[in-house]
Amino acid sequence: MSAKPRFPLPLSSVTAKKPGTEFRPTVATPQTATRNAATTAAKSPWAPPPPAATPSRAHSYAQERAQPQPLAAPRQNPLVSDAVRRAMVQRVARQGVQDQVVLSALETVPRHMFMDEGLASQAYIDASLPIGHHQTISQPYIVARMIEVMRNGGQLQRVLEIGTGCGYQAAVLACVAQEVYSIERIKPLHELAKSNLRPLRVANLRLHYGDGMLGLPQAAPFDGIILAAAGLEVPQALLEQLAIGGRLVAPVGARTQHLELVTRTGKAEWVRQTLEDCHFVPLRPGIV
Ligand code: SAH
């Protein structure tokens, strides 16, 4: 077995795998994302920002905080203000997420920096939204809920996420765990996540391009595993890569899905619990 990587690791340290059999999703845009984008645009409490005020992808959140606007300047862009993000977190808390560690992680990560500028005005509504390639950025509530369930109030050393997408949940995970690994099977999304995360300089997060259904045996075992895409069942490889005592949270199902919590209780023993209903994009094999 190869030596375990040491932290902090650069985001550029990517395991590039050879493209295998091409597998192209045939489903239409999943989830409620497209509908969310369309219907909430009208309801959004914030007017779209003037082009000059739109946050650039290269602009780091740290810079934003370090350089408050002078009083004479136009009001801070409400889309990126701490208050807007705090309001989102309060909504998530009202929906039942209680773990303060998770809530403060959610408050820390600038979600608008993971979205297309055209959708940035919706970054802090509680909805999944399109990120291209028929995939979505997960709803803040479900991101928080899954991490809360996985954490269970404990310390997390090493965590694996399947389905990096734009990198938002990976960034939230990096606030609550010592080491985070995240795998994405769609190369352009893997690249998108890298460029979204670069300005945030997340030192304890490593992104991989590959088929997450196979897990990441070279970094296993994991204290926690989160799947951001729904399969008909949890892949056996992931169950095997869970540490004893570790917790895996995954959406399971097709048209109707539920969150499943799997706790590894022994070498060959896993306990499953069914939690709430959910709606995720499908877990697919292979890389694209
Ligand atoms: N974690 C993201 C959610 C992304 S949507 C967020 O923060 O919002 C789910 C992602 O899972 C998609 O990008 C999809 O391409 C990816 N996915 C689906 N099957 C996969 C697999 N077998 N391995 C890795 N990623 C997969």
Q: What value does the mean pLDDT take over residues 242-265? A: 98
At residue 36, the pLDDT reads 46
d(CA 103, CA 147): 10
pLDDT at 76 over 70: no
Which of 24-28, 93-97, 147-151, 167-171 comes out lowest in average pLDDT? 24-28
DSSP 231: B
In order of 23, 78, 138, 222, 256, the CA distances from 281 in angstroms are: 15, 30, 9, 23, 12
Helix (H) or strand (E) holding 234: none
Nearest to 263 by CA among 242, 281, 235: 242
At residue 78, the pLDDT reads 56
First to last CA, the chain: 27
* pTM given for the model: 0.78
pLDDT band at residue 82 using 50, 70 and 90 as cut-offs: confident
Q: Per-residue pLDDT tens for 12-48?
A: 332 223 233 222 222 223 344 444 444 443 333 222 3
Q: Per-residue pLDDT tens for 117-154?
A: 889 889 999 899 999 999 999 999 999 999 999 999 99
For ligand 1, mutation pick of 21, 26, 164 (most atoms within 8 Å of CB): 164
Task: Give the catalytic positions in this structure.
Answer: 138
Q: In this predicted model, which residue has the larger pLDDT, 171 or 18?
A: 171
For ligand 1, mutation pick of 172, 236, 283 (most atoms within 8 Å of CB): 283
Q: Which residues line ligand 1 (CB under 6 A)?
A: 135-138, 162-166, 168-169, 183-186, 189, 211-213, 228-229, 281, 283-285
Q: How many CB atoms lie within 10 A of CB 240?
A: 14
Phi, psi of 92 (to 5 degrees): -65, -40
Residue 264 Cα to ligand 1 midpoint, Å, equals: 23
